[in-house]
Amino acid sequence: MLTNLYVLYFISLVVPSVSTGSLTVQITALENQRGSVRAALYSNEEAFDNQKTDRAMGRIRSELSGSTCTFSWADLPYGVYALAIYHDVNDNGELDTNVFGIPTEPYAFSNKPSVKWRSPRFSEVAFQIEMPDTSLVVALSRWSDR
C-alpha cells in the first residue's frame, strides 16, 4: 500500500496537471468602426470593484471592421474572472461619461448584469475558467438601452 502512494506521488510530480486555460471573447453589436474596443479581464474582486486597471489583463483592438471583434487570453490559471469592455469611439483611452457620470460610449460586462444606476459588483459579472478553452459572447450597448 505504501509503495502505491509513492508511485502516485511520483506521477503527480512528473505529469503536470492542466491548471490553465484560454479565454476567447467575441464582442458583438459594434455600432461603427471608429476608435478602439478596450477589454479588461480581472482575476480578483478587489481589482474589479476598485477599478484598478493596472491590475487587469487588458486588450485593445484598434483595427475594427464589421460589427464584431474578438479578444483572446492564454494560460489563465483556473479560477474566477470578471470582464469589462467598452467601445472607445473617440479613442481617448477612457470611457466617456456625461456630467452625471453616465457612460456616453457603448460598454458591456461579462454575465450581462441587470444593473443600470451603479457599477456592477464582481459577484454579478464573475465567471469561471475551469476548462482548457472557455468562450464568451458579450454584446455592447449604450446606457440608455439597458
Q: Which is higher by pLDDT, 106 or 51?
A: 106
Closest of 85, 84, 87 to residue 64, by C-alpha: 87
Confidence of residue 142 (pLDDT cuts 50, 70, 90): very high
Confidence of residue 51 (pLDDT cuts 50, 70, 90): confident
Given the DSSP bridges, would you call strands 107-109 and 79-88 parallel, antiparallel or unpaired? antiparallel
DSSP 3: H
Q: How far apart are CA 50 and CA 126, in angstroms?
A: 15
Specify the pTM. Answer: 0.84
Burial of residue 108 (number of CB atoms within 10 Å: 0-12, 13-18, 19+): buried
Cell 456625461 belongs to: 98
Fold of 21-145: Immunoglobulin-like (2.60.40)
Closest of 114, 126, 129 to residue 45, by C-alpha: 126
How confident is the model at residue 8, as a pLDDT? 47
**Could you tell me where the beta strands, DSSP code E, fall in 4-106?**
20-28, 36-42, 57-61, 69-77, 79-88
Residue 3 has pLDDT above 60, yes or no: no
pLDDT in tens, 90-112: 999 999 999 999 999 999 999 99
In the chain, pLDDT over 90 holds for what percent of residues? Answer: 79
For 50-79, what is the mean pLDDT?
Answer: 91
Residue 14 has pLDDT above 60, yes or no: no
Burial of residue 124 (number of CB atoms within 10 Å: 0-12, 13-18, 19+): middle
